[in-house]
Amino acid sequence: QVQLVESGGGLVQAGASLRLSCAASGRTIANYDVGWFRHAPGEERELFAAIDWNSNTYYSDSVKGRFAIIRDNVKNTIDLQMNSLKPEDSAVYYCAASYKSRNAQSKGSYDYWGQGTQVSVSS
């Protein structure tokens, strides 16, 4: 079983950058699909970025061109570089993992979750 811990959240102004990290333990993350989710008050949890165990990536239209997933199999981490942040990016951000799922773009594929980290973007 893999354990996940997110870090790097905070309060920033619009246009700034943040880098979130998802540190895995218990298993090597190289064999897992990893998704980044976010949950804003009053909205559904959104899967907005994912990387499968073959390092294929997926981004939703809302973050494409601004966010990037970086897998580091040596450090056993999956980072999320977020640039040009907007107030609508404010949410609790979670990483989640699934062992070689059939579809890393499916919200239902993920079995292991971190505790979340808050990202707040002021206008």
Separation of alpha carbons 22 and 65, rounded Å: 21
Q: What would the pLDDT profile of 65-119 be if each residue is shown by its tens digit?
A: 999 999 999 999 999 999 999 999 999 999 999 998 888 888 888 999 999 999 9
| pLDDT of 36 higher than 90 | yes
Separation of alpha carbons 43 and 12, rounded Å: 21
Average pLDDT over residues 32-37: 97
- Return the minimum-mean-pLDDT range out of 12-16, 18-22, 102-106, 113-117: 102-106
HSE-CB at 76 with a 13 A cutoff on CA atoms is: 11
